[in-house]
Homo-oligomer: A and B are copies of this chain.
Amino acid sequence: MEYLQTYRNYWKELSHIENILATLHWDLEVMLPEAGYEERAEQISYLSTLYHKKYISVELDDLMGNLALQLESADLEPQEKFFLKRELEVLSRERNRAKKLPEIWVKEFSKLTNLAHGIWAEAKQKKDFSHFSPTLKKIVAMVQEKAELYGYTTEPYDALLEDYETGTKASDLEKLFVHLKNSLIPFINQFQTFPNPFQKKIAKELQANFCSKLPPMLGLPKNSYRLDVSLHPFSTSLGANDKRITTRYFENEPFSSVFGVLHETGHALYEFGLKDMKGYPSALSVALSYGIHESQSRLWENQVGRSRPFWEYLYPTLLKEFNIYHYDLPFDKLYNYINSVSKSKIRVEADQVTYNLHIILRFEIERDLLSKKITVDELPQIWNENMKKFFDLEIENDAEGVLQDVHWSGGSFGYFPTYTLGNIYAAQLFHTFLDTHQSFWEDVRTRGDFSSLLKWLKKNIFQLGKLYSPKELIKQATGEEPNSNYLIKYLKGKMRELG
């Protein structure tokens, strides 16, 4: 296999550039002095272009071609051969897609969306969709063009989904989402809202101290991550043993930071687990999809982090670190609050139940826009009608309606559904895990021991990287294809428990 080492080295260089880019981004979000922003953007653009050139290069074409020729007759272990074959397949498919967008389209789209961001922000401030709609029409037209460039069999939305959730079609989502929607909407008023039980502000330092205990407790090694502060919480990988997560602290709402850390730790654990895949770093030992990534953050945030045993274990530590007496923060009030559900007009303020309805609303609109069943001008009306149907809420103006999210101004269509896909996967995966690990809740409640879950995720998710499609992975791990029943069951269980 004379080409294998050259190919591996080539991939290692690409992986270096990717990690360096992550460092530049992380620093931009967390550290950068304000005046350094413009030049940092240039540095990122320079290095991204370098990456792209190296990624679609003829040199890599040749390397992969030669490798494929040698592969059949090569003296390799069957598993290694299987991995390598699959790696070449996945990489070929992804590179072919990357080559389908002409440079001129990419540049124009980047210019348009950069401009659109400012116009969207103005429109939102003016609460006036008509200020944004001419720009959004251009964006939708270019996204439709993108779908044609990529190509599709059934409908244009499928082409876009492929960027985020390979192998999953709009019709798959429809099946999952319609069931979820129909199962939640009739019960939406039976979920209870509970008040914030904190009677005083919790200083940022106290929150930070408590939060710092969470990632190592869940299984992220102390010497391999940092926890910092940024405007919007995120998680990123700067190297196999260098994961960075961020959160933000509100003194009036101390659990915002706590759940931010649980969520981002979930992402980081997945990224950290990928390095144990055979052949790391390779084109297979990377995160499989946005939906699978989100399933890992949601599983730790919701299934684990909003459970009773989890807080039974952490309650004494929380009281101590936050300097609160137990009679000022009774356990049940805290637990109810953590699982509180309330209808909001705003997606980012939504809870684990209603969040999914916000997503489904967006998915339906995006899909119909792409298929030209609806037009940009109709969006505010459709949005407001659906908010009434889903939540019985009246939208007063576009800022709290169709203009609330930044995503469309950036040209992201097909991304929203991965949030709810993540929730669906998380509930399904966790259900399967619990079925075979009956002592888990007791391990958590008494010792804060999550090791059996982490081990199961490593085996069934982390170490498989991009070996299978998301659909296949879920089927292998749980015995069936993605199914929203488990999420519905989980949420209705909470409803009954707290109702």
Contact = CB atoms under 8 A, between A and B. Distances in A.
Interface of A: 13, 16, 19-20, 23-24, 27, 31-36, 38-40, 42-43, 46-47, 221, 223-226, 238-243
A241 B46 CA distance: 18
Nearest to A40: B239
3 A-B pairs with least C-beta separation: A36-B242, A35-B241, A39-B239
Contacts of A39: 19, 239-242
Chain B CB within 10 Å — which of A31, A32, A47, A223 has the most?
A31
A242 B32 contact: yes
Given A13-B46, A16-B46, A242 B33 contact: yes
Contacts of A240: 39
A42 B24 CA distance: 16
A130 to B, nearest CB: 36
Q: Count identical subunits in the complex.
A: 2
Nearest to A34: B223
A27 to B, nearest CB: 6
Given A32-B242, A43-B239, A23 B19 contact: no
Contacts of A47: 16, 20
Nearest to A31: B226
A226 B16 CA distance: 26
Given A23-B27, A31-B31, A32-B242, 10 more contacts: A16-B42, A16-B47, A20-B43, A33-B223, A33-B224, A33-B225, A33-B226, A33-B241, A33-B242, A36-B239
Chain B CB within 10 Å — which of A19, A36, A43 has the most?
A36
A218 B273 CA distance: 47
A265 to B, nearest CB: 14
Nearest to A224: B35
Contact of A238 (B20, B36, B243): B36
Contact of A242 (B40, B46, B221, B224): B40
Contacts of A42: 16
A206 to B, nearest CB: 16
A246 to B, nearest CB: 12
A239 B34 CA distance: 12
Contacts of A226: 31, 33
Nearest to A36: B242
A24 B16 CA distance: 12
A47 B32 CA distance: 21
A239 B31 CA distance: 13
A430 B36 CA distance: 31
Nearest to A42: B16
A282 to B, nearest CB: 15
Contacts of A241: 33, 35-36, 38-39
Contacts of A20: 20, 24, 43, 47
A224 to B, nearest CB: 4
A54 to B, nearest CB: 11
Contacts of A38: 241
Contacts of A238: 36, 40
A260 B43 CA distance: 30
A42 B32 CA distance: 24
Contacts of A19: 39, 43
Contact of A35 (B32, B43, B46, B223): B223
A495 B64 CA distance: 73
Nearest to A222: B33
